[in-house]
Structures are given as C-alpha cells and as structure tokens.
Chains A and B, each alone.
Chain A
Amino acid sequence: MVADYRYSYVKQIRTDLSAAIYPLQYLVSLPVQTGQWLSQNFSTRGQLLNEMAQLRERNLLLQVSLQKYEDLKSENERLRTLLDSSIKLGERMLLTEVLAVDLDPFARKIMINKGTSQGVFNGQPLLDAYGVLGQVTNTGPQSSTVMLITDPSHALPVQVVRTGLRTIAMGMGATNRLKLLYLPNNSGIKVGDLLVTSGLGGQFPAGYPVGTVAEFTPDIGQPYAQVQAIPSAHLERNREVLLVWTSEEKQKAASGGGEEKP
C-alpha cells in the first residue's frame, strides 16, 4: 500500500491488471447500455420528430453564435500577433462514454471507455458541454478512471471572471460543491460570480467554466472567508464527456506526464 501511494511503478501493475478486469466492468455496464439502446430504438415517431425540431433550432442558434466566435477568434489572433504573444488555442477533443459502474463510495470518480490505446494519459482534463469535469487519474488500455473536481483530494486553479482574482477550488466530497481556498474577507466576491480555469497549474486549459459562487460567508475570526461554489458541469448526469488534448499537454505527456494534483 505504501508502495502504491509513493511510487509510480505500481501504477504499471495497476494498468495491466485493469486490462484483465475490463470485461467485468463492461459486463456490469451492459444492462444500462442495452436499456438506453432499446429506448432509443423504440421511441415513437412523434418523439423523434419533436426532438429533431428541437435540435434543429438549437443548431441554428449555435451556428449563429459560432459565426460571431469565428469573427472574435480571428480578431483575437490578429491582436495577439500585434502583441507578439504566443498563446495557442489549438485543442483536440474526443468524445467518450461514461461506463455505468460505481467505484469507491468515498471518492468522486467515474470510469470512461477510452484508454491508453486511444492516447489517454494521466492528468488529462475532461470537459462536458457545461464546464470542467475532472482529470484522468488511472489509465488502462481500454478504460480509464477520472477524478471529478468535487473529489475531496482534487484541487483546481481557478479565476473569478468579474475581478480576475485567482484562487483554488477544492472538492468537498459527498456534497456537489467546491470550496474556494485562501480568499481574504475583503476579496469582493459576490454570489453568482463565474469561475473559469486559470490554466496556471499547466494541467487544465485556461478559460473553461468551472462553476458559480453559491455562498460567501466572511468570517471575522478567520484570516480567510468561506466561499463555496456549485460546479457548472453536470457531474452526476453525464453519459458522454469530452477528453481534451492541448498542444502543451502533448509535450508534457511526452516528457513523462504531469503531477497528480495541481
């Protein structure tokens, strides 16, 4: 156990054994997947038409906002070249599915059906449609384990959009909340402030939404205020999530992977 906690060579054993055990996990998540497949196949024509209309509408809206995004992106790039700054926005995404298995009840972890054979590496960030989800902590050939941002041992460097203030978001375990650390009582945070990743740890790409501030309790007796945030990613209700490769992380992976916690 000490060896697993302190040294990395045990990780290789874990990776090998997790390949052996993947059929078991697949078997357990099979009924859920079959149920979904059945409900997709036997939905009525009306439902399908309805859903299609909704999706078409959404697609239109998204495309309109995308036009604006393209414009802004080119403008941004132009301005950056003017300033000689070298931030790259190039990111590769891969859609993965969450396996319907329960892991350790005391940690906040999920299992995904992509592994090292698809290029997944330890410390790789995961997103969903609404924000940052977590990072990969263990990889197997066909599956990997993801630590969610609400896990009590997960810390994420974030930034308040309105004020630019940097802080760290720690998970709180069972409650679906994040705890913001080391914020002084007069830091000027308001309930409803949006938090985004600051990209300072080097682990997560900058600028993705993390959550909104839900509670701000200044505590005169303590040096720091107690601030809680609700994650914007739908941590409990996801079936499909996105793995992200940024150009910087690729280099990092080549040089032996990042640290476990930022």
Chain B
Amino acid sequence: MSRKKHHGGWVILTSLLIGLMFTIMPLPSWAVAWRPDWVALILLYWCIALPQRVGITSAWIVGIFEDILTDTLLGQHSLSLICLSYISVKLHRRIRAFPIWQQAVGVFVLMLLSEILSIWIRSLLGAQHTDWSFSYPAISSMLLWPWIFVMLRDIRRMYHVF
C-alpha cells in the first residue's frame, strides 16, 4: 500500500459515500421497494475494476456504515456485501470479459444472493415475508448496472484511479 502504487483513493471513497447517501434518500412510497442497492453496485464495480484495492475489508467497513445509516442489525449489510465482494474479486477476470448485458445478468444473480442473505437474517430476527418484493432491488440494480459501469469507468479513467 505504498503511495506510489496507488492513486485516487478519494474517488473510491467519494463514490461510496454518494452511494450511502442515495441509500437513505427519501423516495415516494411506491418506489421504496424498488430502490437499487447503490452501495453494492458501486462496491461491485470497484471490486471488479480494482480487486487489489477494494475487497472484503472495504466491504465490511462500508457495510457497517450502511447498517448504522439504515438502523439495521450491525453486520447485516456487511455480511451480504462481504459475500458479494468475495465472489466478484474471485471472478473479476471472468466478469471483465463479459459483454455488458451479460454482466448485468451476473449483477442480478449476485444482488439476489445478497438480498436472500439479508432476508434470511431478518427472518431469524422474527420478520415475516410472504412475497417476492425483496427481489425488486435486484431487478432495479440489474437495470442500472450498465449506466453505473460506464459512469464509474469514465470517472476512473478521468482521475487515473488505479
């Protein structure tokens, strides 16, 4: 982690902070269930683009902050983000080679996995879920992925983050 090797850490940090802000942005009530998982999307991009910098540890820290922001059990978002980042860091070479729509499908699967993890924790705590509404964020994240990907790639190139 020498200063020479890495560059532009503040860009990663700012993008994650903006993601956290989008997570608690007030939305009309019909859209709340469809809110994409911003933090996971942004983290996923950085895991694929810079797996040597962003990985499980950053996922854990960001997840703890997300837990505090949304007042969920400490570690709930962390766990799903850790799984997400582990898989994407492991497979980053393969994911990079996919065309963008195929990546979006992969994002859908990963998001669904993380949503299922968090729903599992919630039901351990006694919450009851009868419908598939927990999968809506995965769908909206999938639809957003191409834009997020292109935007963050341009930002990364503009600020020479590596």
Residues 2-42 of B at the A interface (beta carbon under 8 Å): 17, 20-21, 23-27, 29, 32-33, 35
The yes or no answer to A49 lying at the interface (CB within 8 A) is no
Residues in chain B near residue A13, CB distance under 8 A = 74
User: Would you call A4 and B70 a contact (CB within 8 A)?
Assistant: no
The yes or no answer to A102 lying at the interface (CB within 8 A) is yes
Residues in chain B near residue A109, CB distance under 8 A = 71
User: Would you call B73 and A103 a contact (CB within 8 A)?
Assistant: no
Interface residues on A, range: 20 to 34
Given contacts A1-B121, A17-B64, A32-B26, contact A105 B32 (CB under 8 A): yes
Central interface residue in A5, A106, A109, A111, by most chain B CB within 10 Å: A106
The yes or no answer to B102 lying at the interface (CB within 8 A) is no
The yes or no answer to A18 lying at the interface (CB within 8 A) is yes
Residues in chain B near residue A18, CB distance under 8 A = 68
Given contacts A17-B64, A138-B71, A145-B71, contact A1 B26 (CB under 8 A): no
Residues 226-248 of A at the B interface (beta carbon under 8 Å): 236
Residues in chain B near residue A103, CB distance under 8 A = 24, 69-71
Given contacts A25-B69, A102-B25, A105-B32, contact A14 B74 (CB under 8 A): yes
The yes or no answer to A10 lying at the interface (CB within 8 A) is yes
Residues in chain A near residue B20, CB distance under 8 A = 24
User: Would you call A101 and B24 a contact (CB within 8 A)?
Assistant: yes
Residues in chain B near residue A100, CB distance under 8 A = 26
The yes or no answer to B99 lying at the interface (CB within 8 A) is no
CB distance from B129 to the nearest CB of A (A): 8
CB distance from B111 to the nearest CB of A (A): 15
The yes or no answer to B72 lying at the interface (CB within 8 A) is yes
Residues 84-134 of B at the A interface (beta carbon under 8 Å): 121-122, 125-129
Bound: A32/B26 CA distance, A: 9
Bound: A24/B14 CA distance, A: 12
For B131, the closest partner residue in chain A by CB is A174
Residues in chain A near residue B33, CB distance under 8 A = 105
Residues in chain A near residue B64, CB distance under 8 A = 17
The yes or no answer to B43 lying at the interface (CB within 8 A) is no
User: Would you call A106 and B127 a contact (CB within 8 A)?
Assistant: yes
Bound: A215/B29 CA distance, A: 25
User: Would you call B69 and A10 a contact (CB within 8 A)?
Assistant: no
Central interface residue in A4, A102, A107, by most chain B CB within 10 Å: A102
Bound: A165/B35 CA distance, A: 42
Given contacts A25-B24, A28-B24, contact A10 B74 (CB under 8 A): yes
CB distance from A144 to the nearest CB of B (A): 10
CB distance from B77 to the nearest CB of A (A): 10
For B128, the closest partner residue in chain A by CB is A152
User: Would you call A105 and B35 a contact (CB within 8 A)?
Assistant: yes
Closest 8 CB pairs of A and B: A1-B75, A4-B74, A101-B24, A104-B70, A145-B71, A100-B26, A105-B32, A104-B72
**A binding-site residues for B, Cβ under 8 Å:** 1, 3-5, 10, 13-14, 17-18, 21, 24-25, 27-29, 32, 100-107, 109, 111, 137-138, 145, 152-153, 173, 236
Since A1-B73, A145-B71 are in contact, a sample of 8 more A-B pairs with Cβ atoms closer than 8 Å, ordered by chain A residue number, is A5-B73, A24-B69, A102-B35, A103-B24, A107-B72, A109-B71, A138-B71, A152-B128
A-B contact pairs, 27 of them (CB 8 A): A1-B76, A1-B121, A3-B74, A4-B73, A4-B75, A5-B73, A14-B68, A17-B68, A18-B68, A21-B65, A21-B68, A24-B17, A24-B21, A25-B69, A27-B21, A28-B24, A101-B24, A102-B32, A102-B35, A103-B69, A104-B71, A106-B129, A107-B71, A145-B71, A152-B127, A153-B127, A173-B128
